[in-house]
Amino acid sequence: IAFIIVSIIFVGILPFMNKKRWFCMVICPVGAIINFIEKITPFHVKLDKNVCIKCNKCINVCETYAMTRESIETSGKPNIDCIKCHRCIEVCPVDCIDVHVRGTEMRARSWLIPISIAVATSWYAWFVIAILILPSIFRF
């Protein structure tokens, strides 16, 4: 029952919230999940247009095509397809791209990395615990 409810949420509801094509989200619901996380996360990648020298290195390295000339010139940030791999931050020669707290100019990369490691560690710990406990619950 829980699997059906989660499937309905990720396949049926999230594509409409993210304004993505429904058919695409049915085939790959991961896109809906990434876009939903992008909307609720307090962090976002932001580009300082005044410092940018328009070398296009960030555009060339972006594997999801989230960094485009249009997105840089209009909003100063990648489009909603950004998966926050931070490759654009690493290749920028003038350090004009960084992770910021949403709605502020405060850079967050220095303390975002330890938080990311802690969240990933807790996720893996939960996964290992679930694997150890599930067989005893369902008596496989």
Residue 8 CA: distances (Å) to CA of 13, 15, 69, 112:
7, 11, 36, 31
pLDDT band of 93, cuts 50, 70, 90: very high
C-beta separation of 101 from 42 below 8 A: yes
pLDDT score at 131: 80
How much is the average pLDDT of 110-118?
74
Alpha helices in 2-138 (DSSP H): 2-7, 14-17, 22-27, 29-40, 57-61, 69-74, 87-91, 109-138
Q: Is the pLDDT of residue 73 over 80?
A: yes
- The length of the chain in residues reads 140
pTM: 0.55
Whole-number Å distance between alpha carbons of 15 and 31: 9
How much is the average pLDDT of 48-61?
90
Tokens, residue 51? 């410092």
Distance separating the N- and C-terminal Cα atoms of the chain = 19
C-beta separation of 88 from 58 below 8 A: yes
pLDDT score at 94: 93
Q: Which residue has the tokens 């429904």?
A: 22
29 versus 132: which is more confidently predicted? 132
